[in-house]
A and B are shown apart, each in its own frame.
Chain A
């Protein structure tokens, strides 16, 4: 119907449209000023300049540093791929790659599953709905450093509340060494990241859920669906575009995470929780090898690019989203 309305309104007011071929003005400047392509470029210039200055320059500088042997306090010279060759044989670097992938994959899957579950819960009718929605946002609102410190305390070898609770219940004898054991530490930082990341996923997916009209569920109910089938055939397919966006962002955030690790473990014990971002910082600033740190950070780019490419194809409008308005 909307399509028809468009047609008629266009058809009715042909005189309202701006004529395409304007009479050619005399001067070159005048002609350029009425050329949409030229004007477009002109208007884009300031934004492009800003982008170049504040985005491309630091990025370019970072990448460039990766090809030098710059140290803090000493300008370096171009050394080609030497930093990268070094990295290739560096077991700590490869450990950090493994950690980063484990961290990103496990945390993202958990954030997606729990976030979706929470979104579905919050989408139900229940008392104090607004209150619960606000509560859910809390972990996201609290500064990362603050929540990291809180987790540090929760995971403390002596005073951990989890250890205490489990001990009181008689489930364990001795305190759990959360951040001192390699695998314990890995799962602990992942848990902290999941806790922090769920609100973003849950609230975004909740917004997505609310765009699905109630009448679709009613129609499906009359068509004979079970609640599971309504989720499977209505909710999930209609939510996929939003899931794709949300999870792309979530993966990018997780992959580049720094603060949480740096406060909780500083990459320890024995580099078990070093992510590429923390290792890069470790080498560059406390270690002083700016070139090497920059090279590690540069090595993150292919991973990030492939994540973005993946989502680019995942994010494309689905066929059913094309066409007129609803």
Chain B
């Protein structure tokens, strides 16, 4: 186990820089998730930590040792690939034992470790099978088994669940988290799925276009997104954004571009002095909109009940918003409903920079 430090790391392929100075501190035993849309450079960053890509600028340190020039096999990391990368001509057992075989580990030690990993992952009945004879979920476990057998300082996962069906994905999510709680190995996990990130991580790093937008504990990111990108990325359904201008007439509020007065909480950040007339984006999460007396009139467009909750898509001053309601509602398309934002849970962003106000 080890800490990992990434200091102002840059990566360019030829002339094109795709990672523009990323710094992340990962503590010993932490489960960190790099999340962001496809193409933002998550895999590239992970592969630099693994040593599969060279580092163009900055430093990567594993257990306080700078590894920029250290070859992959000496970094003591194990990686689970998106396509699993199992050796097709080796059985499950041979796949898991391969790294130890290369190191000429004693046979008894090797067998014991493979046996233990297989037990942890429920693979004992499949040790003699070839990867082709396994289902997707089983292959995924073998890939993890191969990493566990190594007992490395750091686990790296690159979108390990994206080839699985939805149900299996939820199940494996829990299993990976349990595994981490059991082994306590420092883990860096890449995904584009914010739900995966929210449910599994100790710390989330949100990346976008080769930079870190924000990092922190899952609920901190949810409660206090630093900017519009993070606010829109974390949470499902995504936060509603309404463009407007600040208005201060005794109490602070936001006047939307379509002319609706959107209420702000009394504690709205940093006073109200410079808010008046300023272009802002008013953000409210779907779960913080309620049907209540004195709400803003909105016209229902679509109602989607999921059983546990109901998603209502409605037009608020010409702009579509989503509300997630815990209670069962009997509204239908065309109805006018009063939608009331919870005042203390409104997020306000600068209209020009996208920064949180």
Contacts and interface: CB of A to CB of B under 8 A. Distances in A.
Interface residues of A, number: 30
Most chain A CB within a 10 A radius of its CB, from B83, B85, B136: B85
A320 B87 CA distance: 10
Nearest to A237: B89
Interface residues of B, number: 31
Interface string A214-225: 011011111111
Contacts of B163: 1
Most chain B CB within a 10 A radius of its CB, from A4, A218, A224: A224
Nearest to B133: A323
Interface in A269-326: 318-326
A1 B136 contact: yes
A237 B91 CA distance: 13
Interface stretch (B70-78, B279-287, B322-330, B348-356): B70-78
Contacts of A219: 79, 81, 85, 87, 146
B304 interface: no
B37 interface: no
B194 to A, nearest CB: 23
Interface in A210-254: 213, 215-216, 218-225, 229, 233-234, 237-238
Interface stretch (B11-19, B97-105, B107-115, B116-124): B97-105
A123 to B, nearest CB: 18
A27 to B, nearest CB: 47
A5 B89 CA distance: 24
A48 interface: no
B308 interface: no
Contacts of A229: 102
A138 B177 CA distance: 57
Nearest to B82: A215
B50 interface: yes
A3 interface: yes
A1 B137 contact: yes
B165 interface: yes
A222 B52 CA distance: 8
Given A1-B137, A1-B163, A322-B133, A221 B89 contact: no
Contacts of A29: none
A223 B132 CA distance: 21
A224 B99 contact: yes
Most chain B CB within a 10 A radius of its CB, from A223, A234, A320, A322: A223
Nearest to A240: B89
B274 interface: no
A224 B102 contact: yes
A22 interface: no
B136 A4 contact: yes
A222 B133 CA distance: 25
B88 A221 contact: no
Contact of B132 (A220, A224, A237, A326): A326
Interface string A1-43: 1111100000000000000000000000000000000000000
A215 B83 contact: yes
A125 to B, nearest CB: 13
B163 to A, nearest CB: 7
Contacts of B78: 222
B164 interface: yes
B222 interface: no
A69 B154 CA distance: 81
Contacts of A5: 165
Contact of A326 (B72, B88, B102, B146): B88
Interface of A: 1-5, 213, 215-216, 218-225, 229, 233-234, 237-238, 318-326
Pairs A-B, 10 closest by C-beta atoms: A1-B136, A323-B132, A215-B85, A323-B133, A223-B99, A219-B85, A224-B73, A320-B130, A320-B89, A237-B89
18 contacts: A1-B164, A4-B136, A4-B165, A215-B83, A216-B87, A218-B52, A219-B81, A219-B85, A220-B98, A221-B72, A221-B73, A224-B103, A319-B130, A321-B132, A322-B130, A323-B133, A324-B132, A324-B133
Given A216-B85, A219-B81, A320-B90, 10 more contacts: A213-B83, A215-B83, A215-B85, A218-B81, A320-B130, A320-B132, A322-B132, A322-B133, A323-B133, A324-B133
